[in-house]
Chains A and B, each alone.
Chain A
């Protein structure tokens, strides 16, 4: 093994119809090294990893993969996995109906004669889980575990298979802070055992926390290869976007206008209780709380997906009786959901169609869809949001994560909403696109749209909102103006529980 590299990918090209996704990309990983892979949305990070694992094949005549000193070629993810290269994508590949232990040793269950040796299976599993500090039990059904633990089970499977290379593609985008810490501990654990780790993320703080080396890509080409210790955030950003970034957060500071949304005493048993708040035109109100605090559920209720037990919702001063999402859209409410793939996009349809999905009624004359108008709408938001896609008819499922998110943003802007609810709008989006989204939020506020921003990222909540409402266990626990908000106060407010509240 020359120079201690377990894995060396060199000069990889990959062309999709209309796109050159990779152009001379390379990647090297040593034993026990964590390499962070950075780049804007669509830079080709996931594609490179999919070539490594045999999901895609590199273009003919390009590329070489050397693994443990030998030239290799995987034609399917199973082959790669058997060779010790384990990929963990955001979409997990566990069998939901089986137990943790069965999932980990699927295909190689320990046998006693013809029967499965359950005791050995569970003991082995327990050992692996303990090494990862994963609280799940071998007998637990995978479906019953939170996403973070499912992710760890997947890592555990990698360990059980004797993984030498572990690839994590945006693993933390749906994890809470505490779950992320646990994940990082298991990464360090594996690192100590000599596993080479490739870590893809758009969260720069994580990259500095966990990685030894940073590889940057732009438009499918490698643009930087640094030792993490020797560089600053600006170095990474510069290689990523080819220029330096002047401003990250944007906030519209104008005087808010008339009240747009007023919620009074909204309750839904098991989710939230007695919620009252208002949002004015041109105001960005942040909702901060732990995952499970009930923020999404409140918004789903306002949007007509759930039905409240009691309480009132007013828009522009008149009480609303919203019974369906259709009512909500007609009333001028847009709702960007936290799960892009399940609730945000029809992945098999084109960018244009996804962009006008919610605005369909307005683009219809006597039942006929105004085809020309739909093109105009798509072109407008493509330019405004900088959506990168080879064509308006390209299936959204083929776009990179960040561009998918921009399509969803476009979908809601297209209805010209009075109130726009954004639930984790920057999930999976690169720094540059994030800044663009923040700028966009500010300009929407300036246009007089009332905006609710749900986010689990503290800097984002603090940097963008004019006012932050905090929640814990289904109840509002406080409200802080932009001048008052500090990390400590936010943390204190979201930790309030029934017992501490009376104090």
Chain B
């Protein structure tokens, strides 16, 4: 039983379509703008996508579980102001720990409401989004927070380089590899994929589907906190609304990466390709001198294409 050669090529193309899209978009911008294709710019893009890259890796788990997490944007804000606001008072490591705990806790709350109480994740995280935004504004009294001195090692996380390569990008890549290992090699990864595919069958197979879903939100919360560390350490300051609309970018990247909206499938590396596409679009439009809001339109179009493709693939399955 072998697939014919032509079929194989077609199948590979379809599976790797998103990678092809990345290459095509990159080449288009590279032709259009000489500045764009400089090595410096490539490195800049990597630095720019570090936060979204980390967050999208976490979001992939939530979407595989068949849910959404709309609260990551405001969580990014809250964790950022916690990092910066506490840095000078309790030191960098404790400040980062507090941010991470906040991320985990917020994920656990959403995860409990969705996993155990079976509430709709859109509604739950929409509410969480506002609650967390309110908290971020409360702890800062609505003002931006700054570090006294930006010459501290904490800021090296966001600004520094190792051998000419941004530290934040290195952290992002390591984080993505870690998440990919969890998804593909660890028991939990197998469980979330199956639970997203059919939670009831998992429940009847000895898997606690509620807990599996809860954990996916915890991972997403953790990722928002790590993203906040990368983001806030870059400038040494944080606004309480800095994360606004990040959830849109993050979810777009995951969907571009081919994770099914109905749950049950997704791939962290492809999510990362989705992240790169968004990053290149943002950067490329700026390089070419378009106003920044043009990218929103482009992003929306791409998102619609991705969702359409997702639907078509499901239709085909539905017929089978």
B187 in contact with A358 (CB, 8 Å): no
With A348-B264, A364-B187, A369-B185 as given contacts, are A335 and B204 in contact (CB-CB < 8 Å)?
Answer: yes
A391 on the interface (CB 8 Å rule)? yes
Per-residue 0/1 for A353-366: is the Cβ within 8 Å of any B Cβ (1 yes, 0 no)?
10001101100100
A346 in contact with B207 (CB, 8 Å): no
With A346-B197, A357-B194, A369-B186 as given contacts, are A325 and B1 in contact (CB-CB < 8 Å)?
Answer: no
Identify which of A55, A324, A343 contacts B319 (C-beta below 8 A). A55
With A17-B3, A18-B3, A346-B198 as given contacts, are A325 and B204 in contact (CB-CB < 8 Å)?
Answer: yes
Looking at the assembled complex, report how far the CB atom of A424 sits from the nearest CB atom of chain B, in whole angstroms. 14
A305 in contact with B186 (CB, 8 Å): no
A348 in contact with B197 (CB, 8 Å): yes
List A contacts of B317 (CB < 8 A). Answer: 348, 397
In whole angstroms, what is the CA distance A329 to B208 when docked? Answer: 11
B162 on the interface (CB 8 Å rule)? no
Within A349-393, the residues touching B (CB, 8 Å) are 349, 353, 357-358, 360-361, 364, 367-369, 371, 390-391
With A18-B2, A360-B207, A361-B187 as given contacts, are A342 and B200 in contact (CB-CB < 8 Å)?
Answer: yes
A325 in contact with B205 (CB, 8 Å): yes
Identify which of A17, A305, A368, A369 contacts B203 (C-beta below 8 A). A305
A194 on the interface (CB 8 Å rule)? no
Identify which of A326, A342, A349, A397 contacts B206 (C-beta below 8 A). A326
Within A311-340, the residues touching B (CB, 8 Å) are 324-326, 328-330, 335, 337
Tell me the nearest residue of chain B to A394, going by C-beta: B1
Within B44-77, the residues touching A (CB, 8 Å) are none
A325 in contact with B206 (CB, 8 Å): yes
Within B194-223, the residues touching A (CB, 8 Å) are 194, 197-198, 200-208
Per-residue 0/1 for B161-194: is the Cβ within 8 Å of any A Cβ (1 yes, 0 no)?
0000000000000000000000001111111011
Tell me the nearest residue of chain A to B194, going by C-beta: A346
B1 in contact with A390 (CB, 8 Å): yes
Tell me the nearest residue of chain B to A324, going by C-beta: B208
B201 in contact with A18 (CB, 8 Å): no
List A contacts of B201 (CB < 8 A). Answer: 342-346, 357
B320 in contact with A398 (CB, 8 Å): yes
A360 in contact with B320 (CB, 8 Å): no
List B contacts of A358 (CB < 8 A). Answer: 205-206
List A contacts of B267 (CB < 8 A). Answer: none
List A contacts of B202 (CB < 8 A). Answer: 346, 357
In whole angstroms, what is the CA distance A368 to B185 when docked? Answer: 6
In whole angstroms, what is the CA distance A357 to B191 when docked? Answer: 8
Tell me the nearest residue of chain B to A390, going by C-beta: B1
List A contacts of B193 (CB < 8 A). Answer: 349, 353
Looking at the assembled complex, report how far the CB atom of A160 sits from the nearest CB atom of chain B, in whole angstroms. 25
In whole angstroms, what is the CA distance A367 to B189 when docked? Answer: 10
In whole angstroms, what is the CA distance A348 to B200 when docked? Answer: 14
With A328-B206, A348-B197 as given contacts, are A368 and B190 in contact (CB-CB < 8 Å)?
Answer: no
List A contacts of B200 (CB < 8 A). Answer: 342-343
B205 in contact with A329 (CB, 8 Å): yes
Looking at the assembled complex, report how far the CB atom of A301 sits from the nearest CB atom of chain B, in whole angstroms. 13
List A contacts of B207 (CB < 8 A). Answer: 325-326, 357, 360
B190 in contact with A353 (CB, 8 Å): yes
A411 on the interface (CB 8 Å rule)? yes
Per-residue 0/1 for B1-26: is the Cβ within 8 Å of any A Cβ (1 yes, 0 no)?
11100010000000000000000000
In whole angstroms, what is the CA distance A389 to B89 when docked? Answer: 63
List B contacts of A345 (CB < 8 A). Answer: 198, 201
In whole angstroms, what is the CA distance A19 to B3 when docked? Answer: 9
Most chain B beta carbons < 10 A, residue from A330, A360, A390, A391? A360
With A346-B264, A348-B197 as given contacts, are A360 and B190 in contact (CB-CB < 8 Å)?
Answer: yes
B265 on the interface (CB 8 Å rule)? yes
A353 in contact with B206 (CB, 8 Å): no
A368 in contact with B205 (CB, 8 Å): no
List A contacts of B186 (CB < 8 A). Answer: 367-369
Within B81-108, the residues touching A (CB, 8 Å) are none
Looking at the assembled complex, report how far the CB atom of A355 sits from the nearest CB atom of chain B, in whole angstroms. 11
List B contacts of A337 (CB < 8 A). Answer: 204
Within A159-206, the residues touching B (CB, 8 Å) are none
In whole angstroms, what is the CA distance A367 to B2 when docked? Answer: 34
In whole angstroms, what is the CA distance A353 to B2 when docked? Answer: 21
Within B214-269, the residues touching A (CB, 8 Å) are 264-265
In whole angstroms, what is the CA distance A335 to B264 when docked? Answer: 23
A347 on the interface (CB 8 Å rule)? yes
In whole angstroms, what is the CA distance A337 to B200 when docked? Answer: 11
List A contacts of B3 (CB < 8 A). Answer: 17-18
A360 in contact with B264 (CB, 8 Å): no
Per-residue 0/1 for A100-121: is the Cβ within 8 Å of any B Cβ (1 yes, 0 no)?
0000000000000000000000
A-B contact pairs, 12 of them (CB 8 A): A17-B3, A18-B2, A18-B3, A303-B204, A326-B206, A348-B197, A349-B193, A349-B264, A357-B205, A360-B190, A369-B189, A397-B320
* Interface of B toward A, CB cutoff 8 Å: 1-3, 7, 185-191, 193-194, 197-198, 200-208, 264-265, 317, 319-320
* For the complex of A and B, 6 pairs with smallest distance between CB atoms: A329-B206, A346-B197, A358-B205, A346-B198, A343-B204, A18-B1
Given contacts A343-B200, A358-B206, 9 further A-B contacts (CB under 8 A): A305-B203, A325-B204, A326-B207, A347-B197, A348-B198, A367-B188, A368-B185, A369-B185, A391-B1
